[in-house]
Structure 1
Amino acid sequence: MLPFVIIAVLLAFASSKPCDDEGSTTKLLLSLNKNLVRSLENQEGLPNPSVHLALRLSNHHNQAKETENLNRLKNNLHNDIQSSLTHSQAVTGLMALYSLALKSSCYDLNTITFLVNDQDETLLTHLKRQMEQEKDHIAFSHRPLTNYYQYSLGVLALCVSGIRVSHHVSHKLIKATENENFKHGETESVDTYAMAGMALQCVKDSGSYAHSATELDTSLIKIKQKLLASRRSDGHIGNEFSTGLAVQAILAMGSEIGECAASMQAMRKAARDNAYDNPMAISQTLPALQGKSYLSVKTQDCRNEDDTLVVESVNPVVVLPSETKVNMKVNVVTASGAAALYSVDVPKGSSLLEALELLERRDVGFTFQKESSLWGPFLSAVNGEQARQSDRRYWHLSSDGTALTEGVGDFKIDAAQNITIKNTSY
């Protein structure tokens, strides 16, 4: 048992002043905002609720574009979630993000319904049921149906929408924090700690967790310590693409200015270096740079909003294939441990996806399949072997022994390197 003084200091640490956003430039934020609006025109597949959420949390708006995207969410994404529910597929995270996106536009969530087993029920009713199923699965198999990131998103979405989160559902997230279950493979997941922090902070603010306030506070303290301990020397928390959510969580939980100033600066530098060209990355970074978090949705009122964001048309940049070729070796490791090695020369600057497509066309026995996600395409099958979420497996990508922080569509082959694609459990 820690001495009372230490506990008091830690509790004060968890509830001190929020981070500031000082030093960031209006020009940079406007540039990110405009890039996010432009991504609405170029998006492939379903509309991304995370992008809509970031646009709505922004200080600057293009109301016409946001309204148009809201309608796409209510139609296209709604139909996709309906299909998943009809086929009894777990879509906790997507449904939670969908509800947060709609609420950020002050849309009446009680008017959004889904039909399952001939019964028409509201979005939040279905989300609450999904969370009960997730909670029951944890009790049975010690892990959610999906994962703790999606579980945290579900808790957050219900709480932000004013729905009382079941004590049993919140308690599972608190125990997972205590047991350090937020891992992706053998690595602790900064993204999951961040989302759990925002979810539990919302529960604390709502006053709905009456079981043990100390237990909840202890979890929040631990989450903040984990996030701060993951901060690198350059200021990023985890990596460039997890820093946005991490700073959002620190903002939500409260922190001294000095505890996130370095991370704010790191994000601004990465933005200026064009590291955030993926819309999903911008959508998680922009709210943090503007001093906001997903908890800000709770107080969104949508009245007297700015409508001055003008997005200039930009001529598409045509990138010609480089005449310089670089060698890429690809080592595929199956679930059984069997390995197959391939080699291909690709134009310098090719995306990993383009390089794999070139390798497949060479007809040397390498094949792959991809699926879409909010972050872009990801590998679902390689050489006929699947790595499915339902089996708790995924294709882990690394370059010269270092895990990739970008997806196959974003990572560029700029020099000769060894790519490993390994069927990995989590």
Structure 2
Amino acid sequence: MLSFVIILSFLAFASGCDTVECIQEVLLSLNKDLLRSLDTQDGLPNPSVHLALRLSDYHNLGKENEHLVKLKTHLHNDIQNSLSNNKPVTGRLALYIMALKSSCYDLVTATFTVNEAKDTLLTNLKRQMELEKEHILFTHRPLTNYFQYSLGVLALCVSGIRVNNHVSNKLIKAVEHRAFKNFDMHAMAGMALQCVKDSGSHVHSAELDSALIKIKQTILASARVDGHFGNEFSTGLAVQALLAMGDNPGDYARSLDAIRTTARSNTYHNPMAISQILPALQHKSYLTLKTKECLNEDNTLLLGPTNPVVVLPSDSKVDVNIEVVTSNGAHIVYSLDVPKGSSLLEALELLNSQNAGFTFETETSLWGPFLSTLNGEQARQGDRRYWHLSSDGTALKEGIGDFRIEAPQKITIRNTSY
């Protein structure tokens, strides 16, 4: 804890949040927001949220243990169902394993039964990674994507399992061939490959070192003037990766300040976003799991009574054009007025109620609802397609449940492959 206070003091020196007390206030506020989300989250319990709470220096052990029980039942059963139906599950399984490890849970005691064979979580993840590797061999891309692939490598590695060189080599080659489709893949791959390097098990050390250098260069080259890497929602993982790959405060001090400034402006509503920045703000990465011990933990984080937030309907209306572009390039534009401050999801629901020709469906994810079908056309993750969202030509940083419409604009929803 002393070293963390020293780090706080160093960062506060040049920070817009320029006192240790201010930095501590931001940390506790985010920690409490994440803790409160356990009672309000929709769908399955989120292993990433649990992971961030357990990596924190501040705890409410009662609520964390309640969430652990939910993970071991609801999420466990969901993953079991996916495995039984041969559905790709690498990312969720990896995060589930890391969440259990963050609570120092004995991973050997948790099993899945597939085709009447009972195996541990780690054995099932190793099997999933072999399927991912074989898919790359024949199609030049993973069964899921390289973010989930990296999560799988990382979960095995931090759990003390030797990662097959053929599996880690596929990730190294992906870096070399610039196969990553989004910025966050670099950060997760950086943590995964750094863990493999630290384990000393990889036989091609020169190629591994080269991949790590390229990842670090890519992250540092993405730095914005305000200190964020990529965007506000990518900076947490980027800082975690830099922390994992080499503890040089000069690489990320301004980025931590940028995260705190953004947090104080109440930008981070989504629990998934908070779960990625909270470890970074406490100078930790997912590699911290390797040495995590659940001893003498602080248990002083209390949630006082909160005043219910009453959101009154806005009298102010905003003109919005919503353009839908299908996979063959056909497009149609809808016009409507929405209450100022509406989420994009609320705008789509309003459009659906006003226009019989417009329909949409959503699926759940750790980030909240995402579009799967518009006007009968699908763009599902399993088909390597998604609905790309942009406003006046600029890609949205948030999903349909988080993006708020504050001014007139044209929102384009385009069926896109990856």
Shift of 1:390: 2.1
Q: Residues of 2 paired with 1:231 and 1:136: CA distance?
A: 35
Amino acid at match of 2:374: V
Of 85, 88, 95 in structure 2, the residue corresponding to residue 87 of structure 1 is 85
Q: 1:186 maps to which residue?
A: none
Of 164, 172, 175 in structure 2, the residue corresponding to residue 174 of structure 1 is 172
- 1:155 counterpart SS class: helix
Q: 1:3 maps to which residue?
A: none
- 1:330 counterpart SS class: strand
Q: 2:56 maps to which residue?
A: 58
Shift of 1:313: 2.1
- 1:329 counterpart SS class: strand
Q: Residues of 1 paired with 2:384 and 2:66: CA distance?
A: 37
Q: Residues of 2 paired with 1:383 and 1:109: CA distance?
A: 44
Q: 1:342 maps to which residue?
A: 334
Amino acid at match of 2:271: P
Aligned alpha-carbon RMSD (Å): 1.0
Shift of 1:256: 2.3
Q: 1:280 maps to which residue?
A: 272
Q: Residues of 1 paired with 2:183 and 2:60: CA distance?
A: 32
Structure 1 contact 397–420 (Cα < 8 Å) conserved: yes
Shift of 1:284: 0.2
Q: 2:379 maps to which residue?
A: 387
Of 101, 104, 108 in structure 2, the residue corresponding to residue 103 of structure 1 is 101
Of 203, 206, 217 in structure 1, the residue corresponding to residue 199 of structure 2 is 206
Of 266, 285, 288 in structure 2, the residue corresponding to residue 293 of structure 1 is 285
1:354 has 2:346 as partner: yes
1:130-279 matches, within 5 Å, as: 130-183=128-181, 189-210=182-203, 212-279=204-271
- 2:71 counterpart SS class: helix
Shift of 1:406: 0.2
Amino acid at match of 2:136: I
Q: Residues of 2 paired with 1:357 and 1:297: CA distance?
A: 41
Amino acid at match of 2:142: P
Q: Deviations over 1:84-133 (max 9, x none)?
A: 11110000000000000000000001111001001111100000000000
Q: 1:4 maps to which residue?
A: none
Gap regions ≥5 residues in structure 1: 1-18, 184-188
Of 275, 294, 312 in structure 2, the residue corresponding to residue 320 of structure 1 is 312
- 1:219 counterpart SS class: helix
Q: 2:405 maps to which residue?
A: 413
Identity %: 68
Higher relative contact order (CA 8 A, sep 6+): 1
Shift of 1:318: 1.2
- 2:390 counterpart SS class: strand
Quick check: 375-384 or 358-367, which moved more? 358-367
Amino acid at match of 2:280: A
TM-score, length-scaled by structure 2: 0.95
Shift of 1:364: 4.2
Q: Residues of 2 paired with 1:56 and 1:190: CA distance?
A: 26
Q: Residues of 1 paired with 2:74 and 2:334: CA distance?
A: 40
Shift of 1:388: 1.4
Q: Deviations over 1:182-218 (max 9, x none)?
A: 11xxxxx2210000000000000001102x2111111
Amino acid at match of 1:290: Q
- 1:407 counterpart SS class: coil
Q: Residues of 1 paired with 2:361 and 2:262: CA distance?
A: 31
Shift of 1:312: 1.1
- 1:281 counterpart SS class: helix
Shift of 1:20: 4.8
Q: Residues of 1 paired with 2:243 and 2:7: CA distance?
A: 8
- 2:410 counterpart SS class: strand
- 1:313 counterpart SS class: coil
Amino acid at match of 2:70: R
Q: Residues of 2 paired with 1:339 and 1:38: CA distance?
A: 41
- 2:228 counterpart SS class: coil
Shift of 1:258: 1.5
- 1:369 counterpart SS class: strand
Q: Residues of 2 paired with 1:279 and 1:100: CA distance?
A: 17
1:20-31 matches, within 5 Å, as: 20-21=7-8, 22-23=11-12, 25-31=23-29
Q: Residues of 1 paired with 2:77 and 2:135: CA distance?
A: 26
Structure 1 contact 20–261 (Cα < 8 Å) conserved: no
Amino acid at match of 1:384: G
Amino acid at match of 1:314: T
Structure 1 contact 327–344 (Cα < 8 Å) conserved: yes
Structure 1 contact 395–424 (Cα < 8 Å) conserved: yes
1:4-23 matches, within 5 Å, as: 20-21=7-8, 22-23=11-12
Shift of 1:282: 0.4
- 1:157 counterpart SS class: helix
Q: 2:17 maps to which residue?
A: none
1:61-80 matches, within 5 Å, as: 61-80=59-78
- 1:68 counterpart SS class: helix
Amino acid at match of 2:25: K
Structure 1 contact 328–345 (Cα < 8 Å) conserved: yes
